[in-house]
């Protein structure tokens, strides 16, 4: 396991930011840590990167306990904090050189991370002259300097414009090909775009921990919108196998939901035929991940 979190609890005064949180991340996985603002994402990431300690429970990164083996943890983790502190007056190379000294990394690595993060065209500028997207690249380059096995990225795309967003997502995906990546976000689309798995946190508690494709499959309640050629009685519709709800949305148009994984469209056609009805149109309407996220994180 790359990251192992066991029963972590953390309070700030009387406020519980994390409440008995447990999960693990395998080598090479890209996991999205999703939750609304204030859910506890940054708090957990600070614990994993040894910036703060938990009240209860334990955590390890790359097999090293975050409390008893802090140095080893820091060696194996690259961290992009939420409010990435950059020195605006420093040149990109100068800033990376400063960090290379801190990490005791060979200077030749600076050019490697500049290449890796697509910083080459801006590498001669001062950080203060860079766009937010390029500043994030500098943050990522810094996190990658000591070539860590695990990357912990706290809301890496927040505040970026749509183009920068896509570029940084692609970059993370690319870097994630040979690293374990644990990234936080409050945007479900981000998880869809980058991650293999999603862990949803709400009010300090884990509410979902699933592979993305499993989540979609499981949460999908099949909704079929169908238009018949005449008035239909709901009691007849309720005889269709697996039917859960029926809603007459407009004239002869019905929204039918089913609790099953098998495709109900042919069954609805058969039903219409058997009952002397004609189908004028039929659509399968699936719940998207954004809706799933909203349901899971309702207060």
Q: Binding residues for Mg ion, per CB under 5 A?
A: 41-42, 82
* Axis crossing angle, helix 132-144 with helix 108-116, rounded to the nearest 10: 130
Does 138 bind ligand ADP (CB under 6 A)? Our answer is no
SS3 180: strand
Is position 14 an interface residue for ligand ADP (rule: CB under 6 A)?
Answer: no
Residue 40 within binding range of ligand ADP, rule CB under 6 A: yes
Query: At which residue do the structure tokens 């967003």 appear?
Result: 165
Of 74, 58, 117, 76, nearest in space to 93 by CA: 117
When binding is defined by CB under 6 A, the residue of 31, 41, 50, 297 that contacts ligand ADP is: 41
In the numeric block, the tokens 């990394």 are attached to 105
Q: Where are the alpha helices (DSSP H) in 79-161?
A: 92-103, 108-116, 132-144
Cα distance between residue 126 and residue 88, in whole Å = 7
Q: Based on CB atoms, which residue is closest to Mg ion, 82 or 255?
A: 82
**Is 32 one of the binding residues for ligand ADP (CB under 6 A)?**
no
- 81 touches ligand ADP (CB under 6 A): no
From the list 20-28, 34-42, 115-123, 156-164, the region that binds ligand ADP by CB under 6 A is 34-42
In this chain, which residue has its C-beta nearest to Mg ion? 42
Segment interacting with ligand ADP (CB under 6 A) among 11-19, 21-29, 111-119, 232-240: 11-19
Which of the stretches 19-27, 31-39, 70-78, 258-266 binds ligand ADP when contact is defined by CB under 6 A?
Answer: 31-39
Please identify, using beta-carbon distances, which residue of 32 and 40 lies nearer to ligand ADP. 40
User: Which residue in this structure is represented by tokens 């407009």?
Assistant: 250
Residue with smaller CB distance to ligand ADP, 37 or 108: 37
Q: How many helices (H) and strands (E) does the chain have?
A: 11, 14
| Contact in structure between 105 and 145 (CB atoms under 8 Å) | yes
Q: Which residues form the interface with ligand ADP (CB under 6 A)?
A: 12, 15, 17, 35, 37-43
């Amino acid at each position: 396991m790359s990251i192992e979190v066991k029963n972590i609890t953390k309070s700030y005064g009387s406020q519980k930011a994390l409440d008995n949180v447990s999960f693990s991340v395998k080598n090479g996985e890209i996991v999205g840590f999703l939750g609304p603002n204030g859910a506890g994402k940054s708090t957990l990431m600070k614990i994993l990167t040894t910036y703060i300690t938990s009240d209860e429970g334990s955590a390890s990164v790359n097999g090293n306990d975050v409390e008893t083996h802090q140095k080893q943890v820091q060696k194996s983790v690259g961290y992009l904090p939420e409010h990435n502190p950059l020195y605006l007056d420093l040149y990109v190379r100068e800033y990376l050189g400063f960090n290379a000294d801190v990490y005791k990394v060979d200077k030749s690595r600076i050019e490697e991370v500049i290449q890796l993060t697509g910083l080459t065209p801006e590498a001669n500028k001062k950080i203060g002259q860079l766009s937010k997207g390029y500043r994030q690249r500098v943050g990522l380059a810094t996190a990658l300097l000591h070539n860590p096995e695990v990357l912990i990225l706290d809301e890496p795309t927040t505040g970026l414009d749509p183009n920068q967003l896509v570029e940084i997502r692609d970059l993370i995906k690319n870097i994630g090909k040979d690293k374990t990546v644990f990234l936080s976000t409050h945007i479900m689309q981000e998880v869809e775009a980058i991650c293999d798995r999603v862990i949803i946190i709400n009010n300090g508690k884990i509410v979902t921990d699933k592979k993305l494709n499993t989540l979609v499959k499981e949460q999908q309640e099949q909704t079929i919108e169908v238009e018949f050629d005449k008035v239909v009685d709901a009691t007849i519709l309720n005889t269709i196998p697996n039917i859960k709800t029926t809603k007459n949305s407009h004239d002869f148009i019905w929204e039918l939901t089913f609790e099953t994984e098998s495709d109900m469209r042919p069954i609805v056609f058969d039903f219409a035929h058997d009952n002397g009805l004609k189908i004028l149109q039929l659509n399968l309407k699936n719940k998207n991940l954004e809706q799933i996220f909203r349901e899971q994180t309702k207060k």
